[in-house]
Amino acid sequence: MISEDKENSGIDKKDAPSNNAETGKENNGHGNDNNGNDPKGDKKISITVIVSGTATTIEANPKQKMQVIAQKALEQTGNTGRPLSDWTLKTRDGAILDLNKTVEDYGLVDGAQLVMSLAAGVGGQK
């Protein structure tokens, strides 16, 4: 009876890995708040962002907005003289990314490379 109560209580199940762990999906019902804020939740990935020729690595979780990644990349490369709105974030193939979407929305994986450059018409001013 004791083992049955323990099994039905969910105590052991809470700490056991779920089938979703391999896919990087959330383990809802186990402390994850659906925003990727649980340290045991979604696995972080490394994204390399090349800002005006300077590469930097950003650690991100799948629920993180691209806006956060872009801002971190600018800060880490010392490009803080212009607002984020003056920059464009693109894939290596040149596709422009929407900063309001998430890492997960774009299906970015560990080791992904992105490029940031000043938006057209925003270049150096005298």
> What does each of the 126 residues of the chain score in pLDDT, given as a tens digit?
444 443 433 333 333 334 444 344 444 443 444 444 444 456 999 999 999 999 999 999 999 999 999 999 999 999 999 999 999 999 999 999 999 999 999 999 999 999 999 987 755 554
3-state secondary structure labels for all residues of the chain: CHHHHHHHHCHHHHHCCCHHHHCCCCCECCCECCCCCCCCCCCCEEEEEEECCEEEEEEECCCCEHHHHHHHHHHHCCCCCCCHHHEEEEECCCCECCCCCEHHHHCCCCCEEEEEEECCCCCCCC
Q: Is residue 126 part of a domain?
A: no
Q: Are residues 15 and 62 located together in one domain of the fold?
A: no
Rounded Cα distance between 99 and 68, Å, is 8
Query: How many distinct structural domains can be found in the chain?
Result: 2
Q: Which pLDDT does position 67 carry in this prediction?
A: 97
Specify the pLDDT at position 112. Answer: 96
Residue 15 CA to residue 13 CA, distance in Å, equals: 6
Q: What is the pLDDT of residue 122?
A: 57
Could you tell me if 34 and 50 lie in one domain?
A: no
Q: Identify whether residues 29 and 55 lie together within a single domain.
A: no
